[in-house]
């Protein structure tokens, strides 16, 4: 029954037959979400399941963070995303038999997630153990237009013989979970039953539950209503029940073969930490009323319109590799789902698709996800930046606690407070602050959104610049050093002058100086004077960037190239990821790289390296980089493409795109890797498109690998949309929206793209250079060549 991979289709992910072995993975892959509400692809009837998941962005429970040996400034409490009230449950009884795919005969079980419809569709033909056949179809959506609303359409039809059918449509709170937090029974206890009932009801076709989290004190309400349709002459019996942790609408009828019971279930969610119970209850009731007024068909139509609009400006076309075509759309769809309606809430590393990483947001959001949203759904990017800005007071408190100035944003968080319990790979990774500043700077450059720059940008840039000035210091020779910090590579930590961190800090400092000059009124409110701006500029100019003169490469951090090499020849496949089989101290003291670090610096601070240096650095770091992090392959794709390793870039691009579809890191079960899904876009656009957006201008250096016949993508640029179409022999730039011409660069040369006047530029055929090798056994899968 199991097929290795999913069928290749351009606009949907389809599972032709149920594979219980990979149920946990499909629960993640078939998630539907709008960034506010997220539902894992659990089966409608609840069982079997691995991780039941219904999430509300920023609804978390607190759990203690214990330490064998404590230390000043360690966070004492962490946040964990919780599985909230499950509103997607539809249990079915056929005659006397509960519908369960593990019993009887499953004649057909097909699920598909349509990227243009935004719907999860499931079609089932099942023969009960007693021999009664039924057809079941369910469709499920989380509305992209009505933020709080989940809609389901559930249809049952007996085949061959009449059947008595009972559908129990439910809201269920505090579902039993497998243990999430290994090793600490107290943390597990805090998360296993986080909800306390405050109110419940069921009447007629409606039901509602109100709960509150025990420690974090977040109130959560869920309400449901139903529209039941049957053919004329069929009698429907309705019954409503509710207790503290569940509400149920039971719909009973007797159907002849060919007669169909159709139930539209609408669920609305609401939550608040501060609003009263009646307020939250009413908010949910209002959302439900609006959804009922719209009805299933309108919700479906709105969903399609929303997605048509998105794909119109965001689609990436890949000719010559249909699997990659499917994967990049799958990725874009899920990135959109994670951010579309997040609205001043974070985008977690796993979006709302699973409990992985405790539902935390990391630098992934700003460094990997926002660049994609900035160019495809800029309003969503702006909202995430507003969320960060909303946590600025907490980041400023944290800086004071750490003996620093400005703002120190958390390494991992939901509500803005630091949740990292291991400071060498948490607090010490200060680059997150520069990553935030960079995402903001690029967003403003791409959108021209000066209003957002004034609303949040000046604050963010000034306070992060202040952090860097307090973190670094001048040597007697005048260099500005940043010592004892951790860069992107988590297999090194607490090192001096990490090149990525230092270059990104310099960008941050320069950007702060620029906004202070652009917005003197706001700068004055923050007490930014000429002296401070000069200090930022000077520190940026004097920033220490270590270079190994003998090897003629940049050490990732000072001294890195003098460390011992990891012995890959003695590291068998089963010892990956290395951090699960080797102590940190060993990883840190060796030249072994978990994820692109210096190589990422070469992507994001491209102008700080010569082409020669880039090639040599790639050659140096490729044999050291094991990609135990999902954040690496897209970046390696971009740099491999830039330095001419086109086949290798293609391999990496495919790896990033297929991370979850092929479960390459064996943990898709816990949720999808948003950064890698976004990275698929980046690998294509910045890799083969060669797109860079450093100094506020767009540049391209297209070059296709053998096997790809055409790559086309679009970039939103303020009120314009630029289309880029690349074929082996030429690139065509055109404005598909916008009235004024736009200047870009193509392989260094200025190109003006005017409305109605596509600019064509021939491409030279560049040789596909022989790429350096990767650590033994860690090469990416070779992408089949056409």
Per CB under 8 A, residues contacting its own copies are 65-75, 78, 182-184, 186, 401-403, 420-424, 426-428, 473, 475, 481, 483-485, 493-494, 496, 558-559, 562-564, 579-586, 588-589
Q: Report the residue number, 213 or 486, with the smaller CB distance to its own copies.
A: 486
Q: How far is the CB of 489 from its own copies (least distance, A)?
A: 14
Q: Which residues have CB under 8 Å from 555's CB, separation 6+?
A: 499, 546, 547, 548, 561, 562, 598
Of 631, 715, 643, the C-alpha closest to 678 is 631
- 167 or 404: whose CB is closer to its own copies? 404
156/428 with CB nearer its own copies? 428
* Closest by CA position to 363, among listed 191, 656, 597, 606: 597
Are the beta carbons of 541 and 508 closer than 8 angstroms? Answer: no
Q: In angstroms, what CA-CA distances link 515 with 183, 326, 378, 512?
A: 47, 41, 20, 5
Nearer to its own copies, 199 or 619 (CB): 619
* Least Cβ distance, residue 55 to its own copies (angstroms): 22
Q: Which C-beta is closer to its own copies: that of 227 or that of 579? A: 579
Ramachandran category for residue 46: left, alpha or beta (phi over 0 → left; psi -120 to 50 → alpha): left
Strand partners, 476: none
By the 8 A CB rule, do 23 and 49 touch?
yes
Residue 447 and residue 715 in contact, taking contact as beta carbons nearer than 8 Å: no
Which sign, positive or negative, has the C-alpha torsion 192, 196, 201, 205?
Answer: negative
**Residue closer to its own copies (CB basis): 284 or 495:** 495
Question: Smallest distance, Å, CB 12 to its own copies?
Answer: 38
Comparing CB distances to its own copies, the nearer of 401 and 786 is 401
Cβ nearer to its own copies, comparing 81 with 657: 81
CA distance 470 to 482: 9
Task: Identify which of residues 296 and 357 has a Cβ nearer to its own copies in the complex.
Answer: 357
Set 27, 490, 622, 725: catalytic member: 490
Let me know if 451 is a catalytic residue.
Answer: no
The runs of H, that is alpha helices, within 340-391 are 364, 370-376, 378-390
In angstroms, give the least distance from the CB of 425 to its own copies.
8
**Residue 632, both tokens:** 């690496």
563: three-class secondary structure by DSSP: coil
In 101-178, at which residue ranges do the beta strands (DSSP E only) sit? 105-114, 119-127, 133-142, 149-159, 163-172
Q: How far is the CB of 70 from its own copies (least distance, A)?
A: 5
CB-wise, 482 or 711, nearer to its own copies?
482
Q: How far is the CB of 470 from its own copies (least distance, A)?
A: 10
Supply the DSSP symbol for 705.
Answer: P
Q: Which is nearer to its own copies, 145 or 586 (CB)?
A: 586
Residue 407 beta carbon to its own copies: minimum distance, rounded to whole angstroms = 16
CB-neighbour burial class of residue 101 (10 A; exposed 0-12, middle 13-18, buried 19+): middle
User: What is the closest distance, in whole angstroms, from the C-beta atom of residue 181 to its own copies in the complex?
Assistant: 10
Distance of CA 425 to the CA centre of its chain: 20
Residue showing tokens 């260094």: 748
DSSP bridge partners of 119: 114
Contact indicator for 243, 230 with CB cutoff of 8 Å: no
Element (H, E) at 344: none
What token pair was written down for 474?
């001048």
Please state the closest distance from residue 23 (CB atom) to its own copies, in A: 27
**Alpha carbons 666 and 300: distance in angstroms, whole number:** 34
And the tokens for 610? 């010569």
Q: For residue 360, what are the CA distances in angstroms to 257, 267, 484, 501? A: 49, 26, 25, 22
Identity of the residue, 310 or 491, whose beta carbon is nearer to its own copies in the bound complex? 491
- Minimum separation from the CB atom of position 495 to its own copies (A): 9
Determine contact, residues 104/129, Cβ cutoff 8 Å: yes
Question: What SS3 state is found at 301?
Answer: helix
Q: Considering only CA atoms, which of 83, 31, 667, 58 is closest in space to residue 337?
A: 31
Query: In the sheet that 195-203 helps form, which strands lie side by side, from edge to edge?
Result: 12-15, 105-114, 119-127, 133-142, 149-159, 261-272, 219-229, 206-213, 195-203
Least separation in angstroms between CB 571 and its own copies: 10
SS (H, E, C) 564-580: EECCHHHCCHHHCCHHH
Cα separation, 152 vs 167, whole angstroms: 13
Q: How far is the CB of 355 from its own copies (least distance, A)?
A: 16
What residues pair up with 211 in beta bridges, in sequence order? 197, 220
Residue pair 646/703 in contact by the 8 Å Cβ criterion: yes
Q: Are 181 and 172 in contact (CB under 8 A)?
A: no
CA distance 423 to 426: 4
Instruction: Report DSSP state, residue 435.
Output: H
The pair of structure tokens assigned to 672 is 């999808």
Measured in degrees and rounded to the nearest 5, phi and psi for residue 468 equal -65, -40
- Determine the angle formed by the axes of helices 458-471 and 378-390, rounding to 10 degrees: 60
Nearest distance, CB of residue 550 and its own copies, angstroms: 8
Q: Which is nearer to its own copies, 308 or 562 (CB)?
A: 562
> Which residues have a catalytic role annotated?
490
């Amino acid at each position: 029954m199991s097929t290795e991979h999913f069928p290749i289709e351009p606009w949907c992910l389809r599972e032709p037959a149920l594979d219980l072995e990979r149920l946990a993975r499909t629960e993640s892959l078939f998630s539907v979400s709008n960034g506010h509400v997220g539902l894992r692809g659990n089966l409608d009837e609840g069982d079997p399941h691995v991780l039941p998941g219904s999430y509300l962005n920023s609804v978390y429970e607190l759990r203690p963070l214990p330490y064998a040996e404590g230390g000043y400034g360690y966070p004492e409490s962490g946040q964990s995303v919780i599985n909230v009230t499950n509103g997607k449950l539809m249990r079915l009884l056929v005659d006397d038999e509960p519908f369960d795919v593990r019993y009887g005969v499953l004649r057909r079980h097909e699920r598909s997630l349509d990227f243009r419809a935004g719907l999860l569709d499931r079609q089932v033909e099942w023969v009960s153990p007693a021999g009664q056949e039924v057809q079941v179809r369910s469709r499920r959506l989380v509305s992209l237009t009505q933020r709080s609303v989940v809609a389901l359409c559930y249809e049952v039809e007996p085949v061959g013989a009449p059947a008595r059918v009972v559908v129990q449509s439910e809201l269920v709170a505090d579902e039993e979970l497998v243990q999430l937090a290994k090793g600490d029974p107290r943390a597990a206890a805090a998360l296993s039953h986080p909800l306390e009932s405050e109110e419940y009801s069921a009447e007629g076709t409606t039901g509602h539950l109100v709960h509150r989290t025990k420690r974090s004190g977040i109130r959560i309400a869920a309400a449901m209503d139903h529209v039941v349709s049957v053919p004329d002459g069929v009698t429907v019996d309705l019954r409503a029940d509710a207790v503290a942790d569940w509400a149920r609408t039971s719909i009973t009828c007797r159907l002849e073969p060919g007669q169909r019971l159709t139930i539209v279930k609408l669920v609305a969610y609401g939550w608040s930490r501060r609003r009263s119970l009646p307020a939250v209850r009413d908010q949910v009731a209002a959302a439900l009323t609006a959804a009922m007024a719209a009805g299933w068909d309108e919700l479906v139509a709105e969903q399609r319109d929303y997605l048509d609009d998105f794909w119109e400006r965001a689609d990436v076309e890949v000719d010559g590799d249909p699997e990659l075509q499917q994967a990049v759309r799958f990725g874009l769809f899920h990135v959109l789902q994670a951010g579309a309606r997040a609205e001043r809430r974070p985008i977690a590393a796993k979006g709302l698709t699973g409990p992985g990483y405790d539902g935390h947001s990391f630098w992934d959001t700003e460094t990997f996800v926002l660049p994609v949203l900035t160019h495809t759904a800029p309003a969503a990017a702006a909202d995430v930046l507003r969320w960060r800005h909303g946590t600025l007071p907490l980041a400023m408190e944290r800086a004071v606690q750490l003996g620093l100035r400005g703002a120190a944003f958390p390494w991992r968080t939901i509500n803005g407070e630091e949740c990292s319990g291991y400071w060498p790979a948490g607090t010490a990774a200060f680059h997150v602050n520069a990553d935030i500043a960079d995402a903001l700077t690029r967003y403003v450059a791409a959108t021209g959104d000066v209003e957002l720059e004034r609303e949040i940008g000046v604050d963010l840039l000034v306070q992060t610049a202040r952090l860097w000035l307090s973190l670094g210091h001048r040597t007697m020779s005048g260099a500005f050093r940043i010592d004892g910090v951790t860069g992107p590579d988590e297999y090194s930590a607490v090192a001096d002058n990490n090149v990525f961190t230092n270059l990104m800090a310099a960008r941050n400092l320069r950007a702060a100086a620029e906004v202070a000059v652009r917005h003197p009124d706001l700068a004055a409110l923050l007490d930014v004077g000429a002296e401070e701006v000069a200090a930022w500029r000077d520190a940026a100019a004097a920033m220490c960037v270590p270079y190994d003169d003998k090897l003629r490469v940049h050490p990732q951090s000072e001294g890195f190239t003098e460390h011992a090499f990891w012995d890959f020849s003695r590291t068998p496949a089963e010892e990956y990821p290395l951090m699960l089989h080797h102590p940190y101290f060993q990883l840190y003291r060796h030249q072994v790289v978990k994820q692109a670090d210096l190589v990422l610096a070469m992507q994001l601070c491209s102008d700080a390296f010569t082409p020669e240096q880039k090639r040599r650095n790639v050659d140096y770091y490729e044999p050291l980089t094991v990609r135990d992090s999902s954040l690496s392959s897209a970046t390696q794709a971009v740099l491999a493409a830039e330095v001419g390793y086109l086949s290798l870039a293609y391999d990496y691009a495919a790896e990033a795109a297929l991370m979850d579809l092929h479960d390459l890191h064996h943990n898709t079960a816990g949720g999808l890797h948003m950064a890698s899904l976004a990275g698929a876009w980046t690998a294509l656009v910045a890799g083969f498109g060669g797109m860079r957006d450093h100094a506020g201008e767009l540049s391209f250096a297209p070059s296709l690998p053998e096997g790809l016949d055409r790559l086309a993508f679009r970039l939103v640029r303020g009120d314009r949309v630029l289309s880029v179409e690349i074929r082996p022999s030429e690139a065509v730039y055109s404005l598909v929206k916008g009235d004024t011409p736009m200047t870009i660069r193509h392989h260094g040369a200025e190109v003006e793209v005017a409305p109605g006047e596509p600019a064509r530029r021939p491409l030279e055929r560049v040789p596909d250079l022989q790429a350096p090798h990767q650590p033994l056994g860690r090469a990416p899968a070779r992408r089949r060549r056409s």
